[in-house]
Structure 1
Amino acid sequence: MIWSALEEELQHWQTPAELWWRDDDATSDTTALQQLLALAQQFQVPVHLAVIPQQLQSSLDCIREPANQPYSYVLQHGINHQSHATEGMRKIELGGSYPLNTLCNDLSAGRQRLAQHFETQYLDMLVPPWNRLSEDLVSQLNVLGYEKLSVLGPRPTVNTKQQISQLNVHLDIINWKNRQFAGDDSVIGKLTEHLKLKRTGQIDITEPCGLMTHHLDHDPACWDFLQRFFTWCHEHEKAQWLAGPDLLNR
């Protein structure tokens, strides 16, 4: 039924629905990463890997291999994925007790490391761990050189010059309470609702729908869903995946 509802929604669309894929917590080459890259190659859906700068290992150079390079991009995933939350706060790295000046310096160092190492695969997009950051930092991101901020949820429909443009994710395939696949009803239901809200102008109609994965945390059901979802998208004329520099213009 849930897939039928998605089909019904897409029948209202005159142009393809735009999607993009972000995967968090990349640091090194693993069996899970190879499984992820194989999916990207199989379906020609580029994956945007949010890489933790201070945990970067040389084995992640596997994404620079000719077979993987067209389907792999790198985003900056914070600094070291360490929480600086104060008492009563939810986990946050880019805020909390982290002094703003030190935070900005450490972010810049991480940005420079990834940009130099991955060159054309690197995109100037900041992905905060746990999808959270302090308001004080937001106003500094343009100054630091970032072109986009990526968190969870629809981006604001009104953006001021002082605020960095967002390109967010909306579909989390993991139920973090149980640390298992969230289920078709949840993921496809959220996709259908997101598309309906875009079509009816209730959220920013220009923002692509973002799929968020965490390859190191996938159970077999997560991998099975991705195989089925990418197969469905590959066979559907109303699904279009965006990637790379094109995303920075959205």
Structure 2
Amino acid sequence: MTPDWSELDRELDRWAQAGLSLPLWWRDDDAIAPTPALIRLADLAARLGIAVHLAVIPAHAQDALADALPIGMIPVVHGWAHISHTPEGEKNAEFGADRTMQALGMDAQQGLRRLRALFGPRLVPMFVPPWNRVSDNLLPQLPELGFRAVSTFTPRAAPLAAPGLAQINTHLDPIAWRGGRGLANPRVLIAQVARQLADRREGRADATEPYGILTHHLVHDQAIWTFTEALLTRLLAGPGQPWTAVDTGETNEPT
């Protein structure tokens, strides 16, 4: 069934009438190797004219990924090994508050070093904690380790997560992680985007934060690919202006 986009279309019309623009970015998680799904992701991004920030798992990243990294993909640091250290029954987290600060810092640092060695200057020093969870105590350390931005999920509370560390979050994930890992209810997703854009337009949310679409190419079925393309096409035809972490002006040189 074709989704009903009318609620979002009405909100996009309001943006057009107000002369507003939406900085739009795309983050895709869990990359480790070149795959057919990665090629499909790159092809879609190229057709749409928007870059993909590819969150690469450092401990498992293959050299072949760097050799075959498609144009238009920007590698960023996806934690270290994507292993949860939380007790059974608690939400997964690799960089949660249950670990020592020394362990958290060491894993974050070796993740950055590994991907700098792999990608060189193509790497953007953005820290993407697996499961979008990170201890608040680690955030002030990240700039000292060489990171310039952190990215989790949901609208940010402030432009900086810590001094020298930009907060650039994602806002919509089309996957129903607790419902079979297929496409979430399109009606709910469309309503969520419309509500989030209305919050920005009406001053209830930070309108300067790039609006982030979060995907996971390795688990996409056809419905997820189709919805993602349709959503990005609509946003880019309206107020959406492609944004990349390079636009922050931050250096990605080692410190």
Asked if 2 retains the 8 angstrom alpha-carbon contact of 1:148 and 1:248, the reply is no
- Pair 1:188–1:120, CA change in 2 (3 A): farther
1:219 matched to 2:221? The reply is: yes
Letter in 2 for 1:227: E
Letter in 1 for 2:41: L
- How do 1:13-32 and structure 2 match up within 5 A? 13=15, 14-32=19-37
Asked if 2 retains the 8 angstrom alpha-carbon contact of 1:53 and 1:79, the reply is yes
- How do 1:1-250 and structure 2 match up within 5 A? 2-13=4-15, 14-64=19-69, 68-69=70-71, 71-157=72-158, 159=160, 162=163, 164-178=165-179, 179-234=181-236, 236-247=237-248
Q: For residues 125 and 238 of structure 1, what CA distance do their matches in structure 2 show?
A: 25
Q: For residues 48 and 207 of structure 2, what CA distance do their matches in structure 1 show?
A: 26
Q: For residues 82 and 169 of structure 2, what CA distance do their matches in structure 1 show?
A: 19
Alpha-carbon distance, 1:102 to partner = 2.5
- Pair 1:11–1:193, CA change in 2 (3 A): same
Q: For residues 182 and 136 of structure 1, what CA distance do their matches in structure 2 show?
A: 33
Task: Deviation per CA, 1:204-229: give whole Å up to 9, x if none.
Answer: 11001100000111111001112323
Alpha-carbon distance, 1:95 to partner = 2.3
Letter in 2 for 1:135: D
Alpha-carbon distance, 1:89 to partner = 2.5
Structure 2 unaligned runs (5+)? Answer: 251-255
Q: For residues 138 and 220 of structure 1, what CA distance do their matches in structure 2 show?
A: 37
Letter in 1 for 2:155: P
Structure 1 unaligned runs (5+)? Answer: none
Q: For residues 220 and 233 of structure 2, what CA distance do their matches in structure 1 show?
A: 18
Superposed CA RMSD in Å reads 2.1
- Pair 1:162–1:245, CA change in 2 (3 A): closer
Q: For residues 82 and 160 of structure 1, what CA distance do their matches in structure 2 show?
A: 23
Greater alpha carbon shift after TM alignment, 72-81 vs 102-111: 102-111
Letter in 1 for 2:9: E
- Pair 1:156–1:59, CA change in 2 (3 A): same
Asked if 2 retains the 8 angstrom alpha-carbon contact of 1:9 and 1:196, the reply is yes
Asked if 1 retains the 8 angstrom alpha-carbon contact of 2:55 and 2:76, the reply is yes
Greater alpha carbon shift after TM alignment, 131-140 vs 47-56: 131-140
TM-score by structure 2 length? 0.88
- Pair 1:160–1:217, CA change in 2 (3 A): closer
Q: Secondary structure of 2:223's match? A: helix
Count of paired positions: 244
Alpha-carbon distance, 1:184 to partner = 2.2
Letter in 2 for 1:60: L
Q: Secondary structure of 1:86's match? A: coil
Asked if 2 retains the 8 angstrom alpha-carbon contact of 1:18 and 1:242, the reply is yes
Q: For residues 35 and 166 of structure 2, what CA distance do their matches in structure 1 show?
A: 32
Q: For residues 173 and 245 of structure 1, what CA distance do their matches in structure 2 show?
A: 25
Q: For residues 123 and 90 of structure 2, what CA distance do their matches in structure 1 show?
A: 31
Q: For residues 49 and 87 of structure 1, what CA distance do their matches in structure 2 show?
A: 29
- Pair 1:158–1:231, CA change in 2 (3 A): closer
Q: Secondary structure of 2:167's match? A: coil
Q: Secondary structure of 1:205's match? A: coil
Greater alpha carbon shift after TM alignment, 47-56 vs 240-249: 240-249
Letter in 2 for 1:11: D
Alpha-carbon distance, 1:103 to partner = 2.2
Letter in 2 for 1:51: V
TM-score by structure 1 length? 0.89
